[in-house]
């Protein structure tokens, strides 16, 4: 399974990837994007099976990325890992077509509990 | 409108301390118990780094994290899971400290009203302006090292 992790923080991308491995997804082939605009290009060129994105990024935010993907006709499964998990943002994420939103800080257990149901 | 969080609503606990504890346990230490309030007067820090995010909209405030550069290096090492003798590059220190401020700030923002916006984190060696007034400060002891979290009103 090809997964794209988008976050403007290299350190946070490393933490997300490490936590995905700890959660048991060590079989995922993970690539990285440093912002929403780069992620949009990478979805078009690499066709990932799943996109895990930060919300607050320069160039293009995560919600703008999701809306751009859907506007282009892409139905790639998409979810957020972000430092804010307010009800307002969760509502926006769901309305735009995100599967779920994981708020930072997160643990491997939270990743497993949230992601596993979508893999069945 | 200023940056207002009703601390009384948290029944005497410090929500900023609760957030910091959770961030350190989940992201930095991998387990709880390594961060606690600093006991006594904190020492005067040297060679500081400042990381902050602003919350704008219905409330306007700044969430500021300050610590000595040597502590920021250890926070970065812990975040990246590096060995004690592995080198840490400056870009990663800036990135790591900014992310800690970002995650704390995002959670602090969630305590306030909807429709606020969180800025991207900034990290500098110079203390940023905090002219609007101090709302809350918390000195933390992380493995014997001092980190200070403070909330400020923005003018």
Q: Which domains does chain B have, with CATH numbers?
A: 7-36+47-153 (3.40.1550.10)
pLDDT tens for A15-30 read 999 999 999 999 999 9
How many whole angstroms separate alpha carbon B89 and alpha carbon B97?
A: 13
**Domains identified in chain A and CATH numbers:** 2-119 (3.40.50.2300)
Mean pLDDT of chain B: 90
Q: Which residues of B touch A15 (CB under 8 A)?
A: 27, 79-80
Chain A CB within 8 Å of residue B31 CB: no
Select the residue of B27, B81, B106 nearest A84 (Cβ to Cβ): B106
Minimal Cβ distance to B80: which of A8, A11, A57: A11
Look at strands B61-68 and B48-56 and give their pairing: antiparallel
Verify whether the Cβ–Cβ distance B27 to A85 is below 8 Å: no
What pLDDT score was predicted for residue B61?
Answer: 93
Q: How far apart are CA B128 and CA B151, in angstroms?
A: 13
Beta carbons of B112 and B55 less than 8 angstroms apart: yes
List pLDDT tens digits, range B94-123. 999 999 999 999 999 888 777 788 999 999
Alpha-carbon distance A69 to A47, whole Å?
12
Query: How far is CA B46 from each of CA A109, A114, B39, B124, B146, rounded to the nearest angstrom?
Result: 38, 42, 19, 14, 11
Q: Are A76 and A48 in contact (CB under 8 A)?
A: yes
Distance, CA of B67 to CA of B39 (rounded, Å) = 16
Residue A81 gets the label, from left (phi > 0), alpha (psi -120 to 50) or beta, of beta
**pLDDT-above-90 percentage for chain A:** 92
Span A105-120, average pLDDT: 92
């Amino acid at each position: 399974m090809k997964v794209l992790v988008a976050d403007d923080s290299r350190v946070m991308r490393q933490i997300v990837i490490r936590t995905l491995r700890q959660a048991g997804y060590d079989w995922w082939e993970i690539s990285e994007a440093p912002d929403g605009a780069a992620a949009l290009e990478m979805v078009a060129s690499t066709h990932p099976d799943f996109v895990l994105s930060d919300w607050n990024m320069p160039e293009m935010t995560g919600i703008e990325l999701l809306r751009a993907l859907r506007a282009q006709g892409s139905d790639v499964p998409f979810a957020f890992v972000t430092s804010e998990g307010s009800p307002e943002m969760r509502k926006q994420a769901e309305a735009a077509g995100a599967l779920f939103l994981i708020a930072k800080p997160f643990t491997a257990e939270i990743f497993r509990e949230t992601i596993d149901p979508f893999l069945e | 409108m200023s940056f207002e969080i009703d601390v009384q609503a948290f029944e005497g606990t410090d929500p900023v301390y609760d957030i910091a504890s959770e961030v350190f346990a989940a992201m930095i230490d991998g387990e709880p118990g390594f961060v606690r309030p600093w006991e006594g007067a904190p020492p005067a820090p040297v060679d500081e780094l400042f990381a902050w995010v602003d919350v704008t909209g219905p409330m306007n405030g700044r969430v500021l994290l300050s610590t000595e550069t040597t502590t920021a290096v250890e926070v970065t090492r812990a975040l990246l899971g590096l060995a004690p003798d592995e080198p840490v590059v400056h870009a990663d220190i800036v990135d790591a400290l900014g992310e800690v401020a970002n995650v704390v700030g995002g959670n602090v923002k969630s305590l306030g009203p909807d429709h606020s916006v969180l800025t991207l984190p900034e990290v500098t060696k110079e203390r940023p302006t905090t002219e609007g007034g101090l709302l809350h400060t918390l000195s933390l002891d992380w493995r014997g090292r001092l980190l200070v979290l403070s909330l400020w009103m923005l003018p």
